[in-house]
Amino acid sequence: MTHLQPPGGGPRIELFQYLMPESEVRDLEPRNVGNAHICFVVEDLSALYERLLEKGISTISPPVEVDTGVNTGGSSLYLYDPDGITLELFQRPMRSPANVE
């Protein structure tokens, strides 16, 4: 178990590593109900995706544009960490000054 927190305070993330027999391993596909994941907001998802590919890191899919809801126009992709935990990389949608609240 570990806690991660940005320097100077802010939200804290608590991470656990659970060890279980192979017979109890769950299907952690992102679209499965109940699959928790952690999301990292990034500035340039396309460039990051290219860097991941250059380093031989595979993702579940290339970046996908969000086409519904408050994040319409953003993009994201999912990948697995070395332990099979789902991670999401998300780029917020671009907002024009007239649309910013």
Q: What is the pLDDT of residue 100?
A: 52
Q: What is the pLDDT of residue 12?
A: 83
Mean pLDDT of the region 57-61: 93
Query: Cα separation of 8 and 30, whole Å?
Result: 32
Range of the domain at 53: 35-101
Q: Residue 49 falls within a domain, yes or no?
A: yes
Count: domains in the chain: 1
CATH number of the domain at 39, please: 3.10.180.10
Q: Residue 10 falls within a domain, yes or no?
A: no
Mean pLDDT of the region 38-44: 92
Q: Residue 94 falls within a domain, yes or no?
A: yes
Which residue spans within the chain are E strands per DSSP?
A: 2-4, 13-15, 38-41, 64-65, 75-80, 86-91
Query: Cα separation of 54 and 82, whole Å?
Result: 17
Q: What is the pLDDT of residue 49?
A: 98
Q: Residue 4 falls within a domain, yes or no?
A: no
Confidence (pTM): 0.70
Q: Residue 17 falls within a domain, yes or no?
A: no
